Structure 1
Amino acid sequence: MQLHEFLIRFQLQPLGVNNITSAPAHYPGREAAVLIPVEQIDNQLYLLLTKRPLHLKHHPGQISFPGGKFEQHDKDAIDTALREAKEEIGLERNNVTVIGAFPPHKTFTGFTITPIVGIVNQPFELVIDPNEVESCFKVPLNFFKQGKNRHLGQHWRKGKAYNVHYMPFEDKFIWGVTAAIIDLLCRHIDN
């Protein structure tokens, strides 16, 4: 899938988000936003993902999109996602065209995460903050679009079973809210 087709398919489907340009109504410290960076390389689209370092308190070692908690000075979820992408991987906000957002996802760990979809306008040099990111990698969107690469299983936490998306890719294991967001994106553009 090339960028122009992605944009047409993405924009033809309603997202169900009424207002992504306002701050959360309260600040208990559990609201977050992530950027889904979509990059075109040699006429193929890629999603840019990060691996979290093991020393982090929340979700150590997991695969995620650049992003993090809402801070008081952030104007909205878009501001949070773009700020975090700059801090974590050096992606400048003026190098991203935000094309939309999906409804917030609640995780079984108590976070509410708003996914922001953005097109990376030009190639950029990764500048990884080792305090927040162990590594960064790209996966062809076409890999995720194949239903056989997207799975649903169960994860037990504190005696309760949760349905959890997962997507193995090479030596990586993408699961949880990141995999759920990827699944949502793929279903959205395939409608």
Structure 2
Amino acid sequence: MTPWLVFLAGLGAGPDLPPVSALLDCARETDITLVAAHRAGGFASGVPENSLAGIRAAAELGAAFAEVDLRETADGEIVLMHDVTLDRTTTGTGAVSDYTLDQLRQFFVVDLNGTETGEPIPTLEDAFATAREAGIYLELDLKGISPERAAQIVRDANMSAHSIIIVYDADDAAPIQAVSREIGISLPFADRERVLNSELDFLRW
């Protein structure tokens, strides 16, 4: 398995949770394992993946992070969705990018059994609010959204100190740090020398 390196900088103030950098420092110093709920749900009936119910359930189960997938709508809004299409995880059909946010509101997310839950497709803004209320950090996996834009959205939502953005190449990490050094960056540490010789600012564990 490829090891992962989390890049951190800054200890900014936040609404309820300590900064993610402080959490990871604590985990390192005390040698504890932190759990992330993949796709923030999909692990039980009535708890759809990439849903607000999933974020809440992950927090109740004690996960430190809820990992969510981000896609863009036809009118430039950001929603939680793993697949290119709506078919598998919602009551809708077709590509997410073919619908405006208002059009997407007619559909609902379904659980792992395909049962409609009554929860609309959540926006990233919804996810931020729910994460704040539930006391859990968000880990953002970008599906066709640039790292720079994702970082700007996180910064503008005042969630820099409480979010991690996943990237898969060192070149995609620099634009995030250019926006905010408070945002955590999750990067596969496959090319060790390339990462260590980059201009990225990170804590060397």
TM range (shorter): under 0.3
Normalised by the length of structure 1, the TM-score is: 0.25
More helix by share: 2
TM-score (norm 2): 0.24
Of structures 1 and 2, the larger Rg is shown by 2
Identify which of structures 1 and 2 has the higher relative contact order when contacts are C-alpha pairs closer than 8 Å and 6+ apart. 2
